[in-house]
Amino acid sequence: MIAKQLKSIQLSKFSFLLVLMLSIPLLGWCDTESKIVAGDVAWMLISTALVAMMTPAGLALFYGGMTPERNVINTLGMSYMSYCLGSVVWVMLSYSLAFGTDLGWGLLGGFEHTFLQNVSVKDTVGTIPTLVFISFQGTFAAIAVALISGSVIERVKFSSWILFTILWSIFVYAPIAHWVWGGGFLSDWGVLDFAGGTVIHISAGVSGLMFAILLGPRLDTDTANFSPYSIKFTVLGAGLLWFGWFGFNGGSQLAADAIAANAVLVTNISASMGVVGWMLLEWLFTGRYTMFGAASGTVAGLVAITPAAGFVSPSSSMVIGLLGGVIGYFGVYELKKRTKVDDALDAFGVHALVGIWGAVATGIFADPDINPIGTGLWYGKPEQVWTQFLACMIVIGFAAAMTALIYGLIHLLTKGVRVDAETERAGIDSSFHGESA
């Protein structure tokens, strides 16, 4: 009996050693390939596709539906071309400036990745291939500049818009992305921006306002017909933006994990509360609920949660989204009246103002139990609010100044940024595109 037990033990030891020896090559293979996690790659590919849909489909329809019939095609085209040119400029230069090796003082990345030089299919960012990261971030760069078009529709030359898209993507978006996400000075300060509150929404909203101021208001604003072409288009566009925003925020974790799941959940909650906040004010001030308000409130709630999505709890997202809708409503209907700036489709009111709220709210509600990277005022770190606010002010100043410089340069190159009065009154669709909605 004892002999049988000893023999069994010896066989067990031999089996263990045999399995261990056979596993050595496999252990070596796991060590070289373990950086790539298939689930994370799959989620990021899906997220990239979701965000890609947001510009040539979601934003184009959202803005196009709000535009008068004579300029619908032009408005759609501005979003469409922004996506195309933004994507191309991103791989040519902007990616390198945003995520290349810092040139000094945390201000700008280097030029080593222009035209994606020195990027291998084997390179990784976290657990995903670098090429997936580049694709995902490229969709962000493209929608950022497209958002600006909402401020200046119906009066800017299409050729001027093409030049603006290229120059703004390089000289405004890329530096700010480097500051926050590419290892720049705002990152060193501890600024929290999960998916683009400062990088995208504040920079685009402020740039849109500056562009609109320099361009001047549309002609005959007191007498011309500026009725929206199709509320159905706008609501459909808002729905597509909402759908794509799950990739926008959830994908910004760069992994399929609990933080990504939280980002998706709070994104949905905040968007819903944004609708509630906006429509509540509509009812209080006008006695009506409109689907235009619902679509606008959706985007306001989505903008508000964007910088906070990976840091805050579902209960906090309810507050962030509700106030996002309220702030967006006042930005569109009250502030716009007082300033009398013709921000045609309210890029500043919805994106910049609500984006500022979202960035500051991140400093208030960031919960270390959700994400250990960030702790806000509510959880014992009041200085985070100041850090967030200071970052907002820096981005506002930089975006406004650079937009003014770019506008001046385009004005010289194209002998005027604005279409002539006859074209503006007749509509850009027929004059420039030879098409009609």
- DSSP-derived 3-state class of residue 404: helix
Residues whose CB falls within 8 Å of the CB of residue 125, separated by 6 or more in sequence, listed in order: 132, 133, 254
Classify the phi-psi angles of 434: left when phi > 0, otherwise alpha if psi is within -120 to 50, otherwise beta: left
Residues paired with 156 in a beta bridge? 418
Classify the phi-psi angles of 193: left when phi > 0, otherwise alpha if psi is within -120 to 50, otherwise beta: beta
Name the residue type at position 129.
P
Please determine, for residue 2, whether its predicted confidence score (pLDDT) is greater than 50.
no
Q: Quick one: pLDDT band at residue 27, thresholds 50, 70, 90?
A: very low
Percent of the chain predicted with pLDDT > 90 = 85
pLDDT for the residue numbered 245: 98
Domain residues for the domain of 123 are 34-433
CA distance 282 to 300: 14
pLDDT digits (tens, 9 = 90+) for 50-63: 999 999 999 999 99
Is residue 22 in some structural domain?
no
Please determine, for residue 8, whether its predicted confidence score (pLDDT) is greater than 60.
no
Residues paired with 9 in a beta bridge? none
C-beta neighbour count of 125 within 10 angstroms:
17
C-beta neighbour count of 188 within 10 angstroms:
11
Is residue 15 in some structural domain?
no
In eight-state DSSP terms, residue 427 is: -
CA distance 229 to 131: 39
Question: Span 85-106, mean pLDDT?
Answer: 97
Is residue 218 in some structural domain?
yes
- Four-point Cα dihedral 145, 146, 147, 153, nearest 10: 120
Percent of the chain predicted with pLDDT > 70 = 92
Please determine, for residue 396, whether its predicted confidence score (pLDDT) is greater than 50.
yes
Is residue 326 in some structural domain?
yes
The residue assigned the tokens 């996690």 is 37
pLDDT for the residue numbered 431: 86
In eight-state DSSP terms, residue 201 is: I
Tell me the pTM: 0.91
pLDDT for the residue numbered 1: 44
Name the residue type at position 85.
L
CA distance 139 to 246: 14
> What CATH code is carried by the domain that includes residue 218?
1.10.3430.10
pLDDT digits (tens, 9 = 90+) for 208-266: 999 999 999 999 877 677 889 999 999 999 999 999 999 999 999 999 999 999 999 99
Length of the chain counted residue by residue: 437
Please determine, for residue 24, whether its predicted confidence score (pLDDT) is greater than 50.
no
Question: Span 354-362, mean pLDDT?
Answer: 98
CA angle 119/120/125 to nearest 5° reads 75
Please determine, for residue 380, whether its predicted confidence score (pLDDT) is greater than 90.
yes
**By CB neighbour count within 10 A (0-12 exposed, 13-18 middle, 19+ buried), where does 4 fall?**
exposed
For 125, list phi and psi in degrees, rounded to 5.
-120, 110
Residues whose CB falls within 8 Å of the CB of residue 381, separated by 6 or more in sequence, listed in order: 366, 375
- DSSP-derived 3-state class of residue 220: coil
> How many independent structural domains does the chain possess?
1
- DSSP-derived 3-state class of residue 91: helix
Residues whose CB falls within 8 Å of the CB of residue 37, separated by 6 or more in sequence, listed in order: 127, 128, 255, 256
Please determine, for residue 4, whether its predicted confidence score (pLDDT) is greater than 70.
no
Is residue 89 in some structural domain?
yes
- DSSP-derived 3-state class of residue 242: helix
Question: Span 90-98, mean pLDDT?
Answer: 98
Residues whose CB falls within 8 Å of the CB of residue 211, separated by 6 or more in sequence, listed in order: 148, 151, 152, 156, 164, 403, 407
Is residue 226 in some structural domain?
yes
Is residue 3 in some structural domain?
no
- Four-point Cα dihedral 40, 42, 48, 51, nearest 10: -90
Is residue 90 in some structural domain?
yes
pLDDT for the residue numbered 34: 52
Whole-number mean pLDDT of the chain? 92
In eight-state DSSP terms, residue 124 is: E
pLDDT digits (tens, 9 = 90+) for 268-278: 999 999 999 99
pLDDT digits (tens, 9 = 90+) for 402-416: 999 999 999 999 888
Question: Span 376-387, mean pLDDT?
Answer: 97
The residue assigned the tokens 């409503």 is 329
